[in-house]
Amino acid sequence: MGVDERLDEPIAYCQARPMGSVDRRGRCLTSGRTFIQRTLANHMIEIDNDGRVRTITLMRPEAKNAMNTAMWDATADALLEADQDPGVAVVVLTGTGDAFSAGQDLLEMGEMAMGKTIPAKHGFAGLTQVLIDFEKPLVLAVNGIGLGFGATILGVADLVFMATSARLKCPFTALGVAPELASSVTFPTLIGRQNATWALMSSEWLSAEECMAMGLVYKLCEPEDLIKTTMTHAHTLASKPISSLKACKRTIVEPLRESMHAARLRENDAFAVLMGSPANIEAMTAFAEKRVPNFDGID
C-alpha cells in the first residue's frame, strides 16, 4: 500500500470523554470541556482536540520521532486540516517518549542518497511550505531531543516551550548537507547571525538554557510541567477571536514570509546538490557502521 493510500484510511479511533482527568501520556486535562482524541491509521501522529486547541503529537517513539515520508505527509495534512477548521484557534505540536523529533529518518535519507525515489504527497518540501504559510498560532512543546527538523521548526513557530531536560542540534555539517526549513533566515532573525552560525554550522548540541538565552525559546519548564504550562498559554490565546489571532500573526510574519520562502528554495537546492555527495555518503556510511565520519580529503 502506498503512502497516500495509507493516509486516506479512516481514523483508527475517535472517542470523547469528560475533562478533568489525566490522559494516557500523563497530561492534566482542563475541566469542563470535551476531549476528542484521534490516532491516524498509520499511527505516525495523534490528534487531540481540547476546546479550540488542537494538539498534534508525533508518535514514533521507537525511532525518537524521526520523520520519514509518511510522517512528513501526515503532519502536513494535519496542519492543513487545522488551518481550515473553524473550530481550531491554536495548534500545539509536541512529541511522545523522550524525544521531540530526531529529524529526518537517516535510514530513509541513506536510501534517497543512493538514488531511491520515495513517493510522497507533500514530503519535507511540502511540509516546509505549509509551516511557513500556516495562518494560526503554532505553539511547540519541546519535550525532549530535537535534531534537524526537530530544531529548525522552532524558527517558524510562534511560541516555544521547552523542557529543561531537552536539547537541540542542527547536524547539517555532520551529515554533509545544508540547512533546511528556512533556518538560514529564521535563525539569524531570531538569535543573531553569530548564534545562528554556531547553531547551523557546528553540529553541536544546544542545551535548553542556551536556547533560552539565544531567544529560540519563550519559556523553559520542568519536564513534568511542560504540557500543563504549554496548554495554559495555548488556551489563553485560543480564548481570543480567531480572526484577530490570524491578523496579528499575519502582521508579524508577513514581512518575513517572502524571504522564508526564498530561503527554503535556496536550501532545498543546496540540499539536493549535497545529497549523495562524497561527504554525505561518508556520513551515511559512518552512521550505518556506528562510527564517527571522517571527512579528511573530502571536499
Percentage of the residues of the chain whose pLDDT score is greater than 70: 85
Predicted confidence (pLDDT) per residue in 113-154, tens digit: 677 777 879 999 999 999 999 999 999 999 999 999 999 999
Residue with cell 542518497: 113
Residue pair 34/73 in contact (Cβ under 8 Å)? The answer is no
Nearest to 56 by CA among 122, 138, 129, 124: 138
pLDDT at position 20 over 90: no
Q: Where are the alpha helices (DSSP H) in the chain?
A: 3-7, 69-84, 106-113, 123-133, 149-152, 183-191, 193-201, 208-214, 226-238, 242-274, 278-289
| Whether pLDDT at 7 is above 70 | no
Q: What are phi and psi of 294, to 5 degrees?
A: -120, 105
Task: Provide the pairing of β-strand 13-18 with 167-169.
Answer: unpaired
Is residue 206 a contact partner of residue 160, using CB atoms and an 8 Å limit? no
Quote the CA–CA distance of 119 and 132 in Å, as a whole number: 23
| CATH class, range 3-223+242-289 | alpha beta
More confident residue, 231 or 34: 231
C-alpha cell at 142: 519541546
Query: What was the pLDDT predicted at 299?
Result: 73
Neighbours of 124 (CB within 10 A): 24
Point out the least confidently predicted range of 40-44, 58-62, 63-67, 187-191: 40-44
pLDDT of residue 17: 33
Predicted pLDDT of residue 37: 47
Q: How confident is the model at residue 112 (pLDDT cuts 50, 70, 90)?
A: confident
> 65, 96 in Cβ contact below 8 A?
yes
The answer to whether 295 touches 277, Cβ cutoff 8 Å, is no
Whether residue 13 is predicted with pLDDT greater than 80 in this model: the reply is no
Whether 25 has a pLDDT exceeding 60, the answer reads no
Q: What is the mean pLDDT of the chain?
A: 86
Contact 161, 141 (CB under 8 A): yes
* pLDDT above 60 (res 235): yes
Q: Is the pLDDT of residue 31 over 80?
A: no
- Which of 152-156, 211-215, 283-287 comes out lowest in average pLDDT? 283-287
Please check the confidence at residue 263 and state whether its pLDDT lies above 90.
yes
Distance between first and last Cα of the chain: 40
User: Where along the chain do its domains lie?
Assistant: 3-223+242-289
130 by DSSP, 3-state: which? helix
Whole-prediction pTM value? 0.85
Cβ atoms of 217 and 160 within 8 Å: the answer is yes
With CA atoms as reference, report the closest residue to 141 among 75, 85, 220, 71. 220
The 3-state DSSP class for residue 184 equals: helix
Q: Tell me: pLDDT of 246 over 80.
A: yes
- Given a cut of 70, whether residue 30 has pLDDT beyond it is no
**Tell me, what DSSP letter sits at residue 94?**
E
Cell triple for 260:
522564508
Question: What's the full length of the chain, in residues?
Answer: 299
Count Cα neighbours of 138 within 13 Å in the Cβ-side half-sphere: 23
So what's the pLDDT on residue 9?
31
